[in-house]
Amino acid sequence: MKVSLTAALVAVVSLSFTANAMAGGVGPPSGTIYAFDQAYRVVATPTSLPDRGPFDTLYEFPDCPSCASVSEAAPGSGDYNGGRWKVVAAYGITSQLTNAGDVVDQASSLVDTGTRFVCPLIRG
């Protein structure tokens, strides 16, 4: 009986933690990333990776908070690394761009943020 009660308590605590985490914004965020002028859906898991191995560049736009990120690679492109990203801040961009070539051409500066994470792209 003690084992059953302990198991039940663990289950209740786990469920309440999960519900609180999702309500508090800790759960997997979703959204859109553009690559090669196509929109991709994403479901990011809270991960952090060491700065080792191959990464694709994911551009974010500090001067455009409503803009979605842009990737230099996507599923089907020969150099896609499965959603392993290094985040680069592209300054000076104030409207949505949809391909990495335009980001590189139009940014006033590109700064590696040091952030590395995993998030696969899903063709939507």
pLDDT in tens, the chain (124 residues): 444 433 333 333 333 323 333 334 444 446 899 999 999 998 767 777 788 889 999 999 999 999 999 999 999 888 899 889 999 999 999 999 999 999 999 999 999 999 898 888 888 7
pTM here is: 0.74
What is the reported pLDDT for 100? 97
What is the reported pLDDT for 118? 87
Q: Check if the beta carbon of residue 84 is closer than 8 Å to that of residue 115.
A: no
Which helix (DSSP H) or strand (DSSP E) does residue 8 occupy?
helix 2-23
Angle among Cα 59, 65, 68 to the nearest 5 degrees reads 45
